[in-house]
Amino acid sequence: MYTLYRLNADELSADLIESIKMQFRHQLIEIAVCAAETEEQDDQSSDD
């Protein structure tokens, strides 16, 4: 299973972690974090 969360770092909360724990209960998971492009950057790259 693959789930992508895209949100502002200011929106991170304990509730999000609890949600992930419930979704992947008793499974080994990987969490990778990187800066995401903004919607404006996404639109510009699709115009190329």
The CA radius of gyration of the chain, in Å to the nearest whole number, is 14
pTM over 0.85: no
Name the residue with tokens 């974090």.
33
pLDDT at 2: 87
pLDDT at 39: 73
How would you write the pLDDT of the chain (48 residues) with one tens digit per residue?
888 999 999 999 999 999 999 999 999 999 999 999 887 666 666 666
pLDDT at 35: 95
